[in-house]
């Protein structure tokens, strides 16, 4: 399963005894990998490096650790930040192999950055745009 071509047989039921398309199978594998990436130690190193100490969380009024967004440099509580892959896990030019996805997903901490939700949304939208252009 090192190389799966998404463009071939995308809608054919080739997986799970003929109940799943390759597309469904791929998202099944991808979500499993994403689950693993939440436990990837460099992710926590990246968060620790971005920690700017405890401040009052404006939403709850409680003290909470705050993290600096690598883009806007504002400080946010943990729930309002995401650890982002600087290079998207799936290249904007499209999926090639699971080997590549795994290499790009489990990068060292210098391949990761903390972004606030707003900056993360902007980056995701840009990547989506790049994907569209790469397809066209």
Quick one: 117 or 128, whose CB is closer to Zn ion? 117
The least distance separating Zn ion from the CB of residue 120, rounded to whole angstroms, comes to 8
Contact set for Zn ion, span 110-129 (CB under 5 A): 116, 119
Q: Is 71 in the site for Zn ion (CB under 5 A)?
A: yes
The three-state (H, E, C) secondary structure of the chain, written as one string: CCECCCCCCCCCEEECCCCEEHHHHHHHHHHHHHHHHCCCHHHHHHHHHHEEEEEECCCCCCEEEEEECCCCCCEEEHHHEEEEECCCCCCCCCCCEHHHHHHHHCCCHHHEEEEEHHHHHHHHHHHHHHHHHHHC
Residue 101 or 112: the one with the smaller Cβ distance to Zn ion is 112
Query: Taking CB under 5 A as the rule, does residue 72 contact Zn ion?
Result: yes
Which of 46, 119 has the CB closer to Zn ion?
Answer: 119
Q: Does 69 contact Zn ion by CB under 5 A?
A: yes
Least distance in Å: CB of 44 to Zn ion? 20
Size, binding site for Zn ion by CB under 5 A: 5
Distance CA 71, CA 113 (A): 9
Structure token digits, residue 31: 């979500």
Q: In this complex, which beta carbon is closest to Zn ion, that of residue 13 or of residue 121?
A: 121
Nearer to Zn ion, 22 or 77 (CB): 77
Least distance in angstroms from the C-beta of 43 to Zn ion? 18
The residue ranges that bind Zn ion (CB under 5 A) are 69, 71-72, 116, 119
């Amino acid at each position: 399963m090192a190389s799966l071509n998404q463009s071939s047989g995308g809608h054919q039921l080739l997986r799970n005894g003929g109940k799943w398309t390759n597309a469904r199978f791929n998202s099944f594998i991808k979500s499993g990998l994403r689950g693993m990436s939440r436990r990837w130690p460099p992710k926590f190193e990246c968060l620790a490096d971005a920690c700017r100490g405890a401040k009052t969380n404006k939403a709850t009024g409680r003290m909470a650790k705050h993290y600096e967004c690598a883009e806007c440099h504002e400080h946010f509580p943990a729930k309002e930040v995401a650890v982002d892959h600087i290079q998207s896990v799936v290249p904007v030019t499209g999926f090639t192999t699971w080997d590549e996805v795994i290499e790009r997903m489990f990068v060292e901490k210098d391949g990761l950055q903390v972004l606030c939700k707003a900056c993360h949304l902007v980056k995701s939208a840009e990547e989506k745009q790049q994907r569209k252009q790469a397809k066209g």
